[in-house]
Every structure is written in C-alpha cells, then in structure tokens.
Amino acid sequence: MLKYIIVDDEPLAHEIIEEFCKVLPHLQLEKNCYNAMEAMQFLNANTVDFIFLDINMPKLKGLDFLKTLNHPPKTIITTAYKEYALEGYELNVVDYLLKPFSFDRLVKAVNKVSESTTANAETKEMPNTTESSTRFFVKGDKKHHQIDLVNLLYIEAYGNYTKLFLIDEMIVSHEKISSFEELLPSNNFLRVHKSFIVAKNKIKFIEGNRIFINEHKIPIGQTYKSRVNDLYN
C-alpha cells in the first residue's frame, strides 16, 4: 500500500486526484492539504510514500516547500507550468502532471513512484562485522551490483540517476544521490557538493574549490565548504 497526500490550494484539484486514485486499490490517501504550511505540519509528524504537489500556491510555492524538507517524499508535481521541470531534478520529483491531466497519465506517474519504491527496497546494506568491509547491492543496467565501500571513490548525481565511480569501473544507478547520502557511513563519506559525495580516505589533495581523487577533479559547493574545511582544520 502506497500512502500519499495531496497539496493543492484548489479544492477541485483534490476532487479530481481523489477520484482517479480511488480506482487504484494500492493507494491510500492520508490527508488533504490546501497549503504548504499545512503539509509541512503533517509531514513533521507523519510519513508518506509520495505526495501530489501543486507549484503555484500562495505564500509558499510548491518547489520552495520541497526545499524546506530535509527528506522530502517522492513527489508528483501537478501544475500548468512545464518550465519548472528542470528545477525539480535536484529535488525528489518523480514526475510532472500538466493540468488538466488524464487518468492514464496519472497512472503512469504513480507507476513511476511504485518502480522507484521497489528500487529503493532493492538497495540494501548487507550485515557486516567491520565498517571497512561494508557492502551493499545497487541496481543498475538491469543488474544488481555488489559494491564494496573500499572500492568506492565518489558518487555523482546525474539527472534522475547517480554515477558510482569505483576504482576500476563506473556504475549508473537509478537511485537519487540523497539515498546514498543516507546509506553511506558519514565517518567515511562526505557530501561536498549538491551533486557529489566523496570517500574521505580516497582524497589525494584539496586545492582551491576542487578535490582531487586519482585523476578525478570534484568541485566543492559553496554551501559545503565548511564541511570540507573541517577535514584539515
């Protein structure tokens, strides 16, 4: 069962989404929120699998609302403004429904949530006796790759995907970079940019706003600069 909420200031939008979703037995509506503040309050105390989110709302816009959440749920944007699609790649946006949308189009978006949820479940950390031997499986290229953290150099966000750079290969995963940030041990890995996570012990040297790992050059984001400084201060 996938739990969801609707965040939209238009009652008619709630009615349409509810009617469509009632046909899908694996969905369960948890709450109707008519502004971002109401949704924020609900999500602070409850967990859902995904949300239907309108962009153009009073006081706090949809994408600005998502940015306030430390761990936003998977999100289906419902909007009449397709130009916001690119900005959503950096958030946890699964799909965009352009109003007015059909039942078939909503089902396609919900299926993306289901597929993404299944992929998350397949990325599991295996039991380990020491941190240095930690391994986990990640799905990529129709295979389940076992990753040994000893071989992981850094991770790069790649649109809706993520690139894992290992010592001897590169794997493209369907996971978001935020999923790996939660999975990886913080004492061994560090987020240094909105699009990069690096293995601390693989850093060769730091020069200016770049980190050098072997032949790779990783940028340091301005908001992450203090984290990097803590490595040598």
Question: Which residue in 167, 125, 172, 129 sits closest to 150, CA to CA?
Answer: 167
Task: In whole angstroms, give the CA distance from residue 228 to residue 233.
Answer: 9
Domains along the sequence of the chain with CATH: 2-122 (3.40.50.2300), 131-229 (2.40.50.1020)
- Phi, psi (degrees; rounded to nearest 5) at 186: -70, -20
* Assigned token pair, 89: 């790649």
CA distances from 137 to 5, 122, 144, 188, 196 (A): 31, 7, 6, 18, 20
- Give the residues across from 172 on adjacent strands: 163
Side-chain half-sphere CA neighbours of 49 within 13 A: 19
With H, G, I as helix, E, B as strand and everything else as coil, classify residue 65: helix
Question: Which residue in 197, 188, 187 sits closest to 219, CA to CA?
Answer: 197
Place of tokens 């984290």: 227
Per-residue pLDDT tens listing for the chain (233 residues): 899 999 999 999 999 999 999 999 899 999 999 999 999 999 999 999 999 999 888 888 888 888 888 888 999 999 887 665 545 555 668 888 988 999 999 999 999 888 776 555 555 444 443 443 477 888 877 778 888 899 999 999 988 789 999 998 999 988 889 888 888 888 889 999 999 999 999 999 999 999 999 999 999 999 999 989 888 86
| Global model pTM greater than 0.75 | no
Region of residue 156 (phi > 0: left; psi between -120 and 50: alpha; otherwise: beta): beta
